Amino acid sequence: MKIVIIGAGGRLGAALMSEYREKHDVIGFNRAQLDLSNFDGVRDELRSTNFAVLVNAAALTNVDLCETERDRASLINGEAPGVLAKVCRDKGAKMIHFSTDYVFDGDKRAPYIEEDEANPISVYGESKLAGEKNVLAAEGPHLVVRASWVFGPDRPSFIDGIIKRAKEDEEVDAIADKFSTPTYTLDIAKMLPHFFSGNVEGGILHFANAGECNWQQYAQWALDCCHEAGLPLKARTVGALKLKDMSNWVARRPVYSVLSAAKYTELTGIPPRTWRDAVADYITRFYSKK
């Protein structure tokens, strides 16, 4: 299977590259190799590249930056996915496009399903929703995969920041009134190939590890796993912060954005493992020897 991965230098894209390199014929493009803001360049490069599946893991992911860089967010997250989707359709290739739990407003208190109405409350969420619509409008067998709170070894995220702070300080804290599900890049890499075939129906699909938590619980579990793995930390417990304490945040964020993976489980017959198992695995594999 010939696969193109856009955003190959990012947290998710790099994980997909390393997971698929052995089994598939993979071509990765990082931003320096393919800039999504240059639509003509993107068309030229991809039209002359032979592939069956294109995964777009590139995006402007800095949620606060998007508030002040609306045009750039709209171009990269909104319009560029549509350009990719049309090139793929014209070539008879399938596009798998990554989107986010931030397309929801967070007013629900049960896991969001694919049919729930998206109602973004940030420029990032708006731009990502526009990208979803543009991909689906191209009418290929394309798939939009929404994920939440993505972590993995290829680029630091919240969990790595917490572990770093816990090594340096006796007190660490994290937000206790914002809920979703940490989702491991290497688990996403295992979930995705079920949908590589052009014969598998497209549309929207939620990918997440099982369960839900707030950031304080996420951080506490990470520290517990580090202690279990024998990693020396100064902090043992994580204090609680409130969303309203985050005065330096520019963008609004959904308070509750848990994604239901029920449809994924129904389609594949394989339920994702829990976020706690995924975090424990990550820490054992990537931290216990540090």
Ligand X SMILES: NC(=O)c1ccc[n+]([C@@H]2O[C@H](COP(=O)([O-])OP(=O)(O)OC[C@H]3O[C@@H](n4cnc5c(N)ncnc54)[C@H](OP(=O)(O)O)[C@@H]3O)[C@@H](O)[C@H]2O)c1
β-pairing verdict for 213-214 and 179-180: antiparallel
Residue 57 binds ligand X, judged by CB under 6 A: yes
Asked if 133 interacts with ligand X (CB under 6 A), we say no
Cα–Cα dist 41/38, whole Å = 5
Gap between the Cα atoms of 120 and 147, Å rounded? 15
Which region among 6-14, 17-25, 43-51, 86-94 touches ligand X (by CB under 6 A)? 6-14
Which of 83-91, 97-105, 262-270, 272-280 is the region at the interface with ligand X (rule: CB under 6 A)? 97-105
Residue nearest to ligand X (CB): 10
Pairing of the two strands 143-147 and 2-6: unpaired
Directed axis angle between helix 275-286 and helix 215-228, to 10°? 40
Angle at 188 between CA 185 and CA 190, to 5 degrees: 115
Selected from 87, 136, 150, 172, the binder of ligand X by CB under 6 A is 150
Residues 29-48 within binding reach of ligand X (CB under 6 A): 31, 34-37
Strand spans (E) along 49-153: 53-56, 94-100, 143-147, 150-151
Nearer to ligand X, 101 or 233 (CB): 101
Stretch of residues binding ligand X (CB under 6 A), selected from 56-64, 162-170, 232-240, 272-280: 56-64
Amino acid at 52: A
> Could you confirm whether 124 is annotated as catalytic?
yes
Nearest Cα residue to 17 out of 152, 146, 194, 158: 152
In angstroms, give the least distance from the CB of 193 to ligand X: 17
- List the one residue from 16, 76, 103, 279 that touches ligand X (CB under 6 A): 76
Interacting residue ranges for ligand X, rule: CB under 6 A: 7, 9-13, 31, 34-37, 57-61, 76, 98, 100-101, 128, 147-150, 155
